Amino acid sequence: MNEQVLVSKVWNYAHVLRDEGVSYGDYLGQISFLLFLKMDKERAQALGEPSAIPTDCNWDSLRTLSGVALDEHYKEVLSKLSKRSDIVGTLFLKAESKIGDPARLQRLIQLIDGETWMGLNVDVKGTIYEGLLERNAGEVKSGAGQYFTPRPLIEAIVEVMDPEPDESVHDPACGTGGFLLSAYEHMRDKPAAADRVVARKLREEMLSGNDIVAEVVRLCAMNLYLHGIGGAQSPVRQGDALIADDGRRFDLILSNPPFGKRQSFRIVNSDGAIETERQDYVRDDFTVTTGNKQLNFLQHIMTVTKSSAAVVLPDNVLFEGGAGETLRRKLLHNFDFHTLLRLPTGIFYSQGVKANVLFFDTAPAGDRVNTEALWVYDLRTNQRFTLRERPLKRSDLDDFVRAYGAKHKRHEREESERFKRFSYDELAKRDKLNLDIFWLKDASATDPDSLPPPDEVAAEIVASLELALEKFRGVAAKLGAAVIE
């Protein structure tokens, strides 16, 4: 059975569970738990090595049960494994059964039991799981979609960042692990990774991530695990990356922090605490006090980056005054902020998002301004993309990758219609150091023929209405619950 058929087979069963009130995200969680137990059994048999899973929690302890006995035992297995401190504990982090019908749980176990997962090579297993994650993101725009960065964009970012096997790569808002996985695939193809020691260290030590949502950390850990990434300990952690500086530093940061402007907490710097009813972030390394989520992630990334960073951030980071202006000045002064990629709309599951990729390198401390010039690539103006009718493809980023060039040859860059150089002196003269820079004429403003085809417009309207309806249902459900209470 090929991977496309298997993805469809497993995904179609998700619809059955959804009819029973199990969400797509919860379904993926159950798949993660059961897949791991099945593959652990296959690995132990193939390698002749003892399993890390206790006998009373292994796959065979599940497949022989049915009815209430299966339901109770499955819940006990999840409880025991979630308390472990190794990678198994991360894969079962805060795990609980979301399948209320024992008969449906038994059918899911039979489905997984009917396949020999370790017989597939590691890339195929990972691709299957990644396919499920992508489908989940597409179906649940208010769920996993918020963590899903388009794969073509990730691949282009990794290609221009060009990480080496001996460089540490970190994502402080890792979601389901897209950046980490793409970085691994890029690094393992390097000549240096042919060395066994280097290859093992790459798999087990050089990749790391963090996410605040336990369910997402589980999805990420399983995604990486299925691609052969990780050792005795999980490469990803669950927790709030912004809560403190834990002292770890990383060569490269690749990240797309969650969209949304406000934090649940406030930042407090060393100048003094701010009175609030919420818990404060106390970060002496932060330059500004702000409730802006993206600005706080940017400050965190500035702290933990040893060499280079590529981070996806919304437009407001480029033009917002106050804290935003202060951080832009710091970024240009203390770092070499050399490239800005203006992303098109229509590529994220959150509708109407206007975002950019900021590329910057660390630089020596001192009074000297470290950014000589900022190169801006405009992939937004007169570009049309939609999630279904006209999705972003890797080839759409070929010109940007070519224009970016090798990281040690930036001095050879050439301007083009979409790629322009702005010196620091030019930037410094802009009001509030506004970096929301554009120069191309928007053809849609004067040419009706440049507008998207009617079917694309209709599809986008339908998608927006579906999202609005979904949000309305969520509000209605909360109001209903409040009335009941």
> pLDDT per residue over 222-245, tens digit each?
888 878 888 888 999 999 999 999
Is residue 377 a contact partner of residue 419, using CB atoms and an 8 Å limit? Answer: yes
pLDDT in tens, 394-444: 999 999 999 999 888 888 999 999 999 999 999 999 999 999 999 999 876
The phi-psi region of residue 449 (left if phi > 0; otherwise alpha if psi is between -120 and 50; otherwise beta) is alpha
CA-to-CA dists, residue 284 to 250, 289, 463, angstroms? 19, 10, 43
Q: Tell me how far apart the alpha carbons of residues 41 and 22 are, in angstroms, rounded to a whole number.
A: 27
Which phi and psi (to 5°) does residue 174 adopt?
A: -75, -15
Which phi and psi (to 5°) does residue 357 adopt?
A: -110, 125
Which phi and psi (to 5°) does residue 263 adopt?
A: -90, 160
Q: Tell me how far apart the alpha carbons of residues 290 and 101 are, in angstroms, rounded to a whole number.
A: 47
Query: Residue 46: which residues within 8 A CB-CB, separation 6 or more?
Result: 118
Q: Tell me how far apart the alpha carbons of residues 87 and 233 are, in angstroms, rounded to a whole number.
A: 5
pLDDT on residue 124: 62
Q: Tell me how far apart the alpha carbons of residues 325 and 212 are, in angstroms, rounded to a whole number.
A: 27
Q: Tell me how far apart the alpha carbons of residues 15 and 334 are, in angstroms, rounded to a whole number.
A: 51
Regions in the chain scoring below 50 on pLDDT: 141-147, 261, 263-267, 273-280, 450
Average pLDDT, the chain: 83
Q: Tell me how far apart the alpha carbons of residues 301 and 304 are, in angstroms, rounded to a whole number.
A: 5
pLDDT on residue 266: 47
> Between the CA atoms of 138, 144, 147 and 150, what dihedral angle is there, to the nearest 10 degrees?
-20
Query: Could you give the count of Cα atoms lying within 13 Å of 142 in the half-sphere of its Cβ?
Result: 12
Is residue 179 a contact partner of residue 149, using CB atoms and an 8 Å limit? Answer: yes
Query: Residue 459: which residues within 8 A CB-CB, separation 6 or more?
Result: 386, 388, 389
pLDDT on residue 42: 86
pTM: 0.81
Nearest alpha-carbon partner for 436 in 322, 358, 383, 350: 358
Q: Tell me how far apart the alpha carbons of residues 419 and 421 are, in angstroms, rounded to a whole number.
A: 7
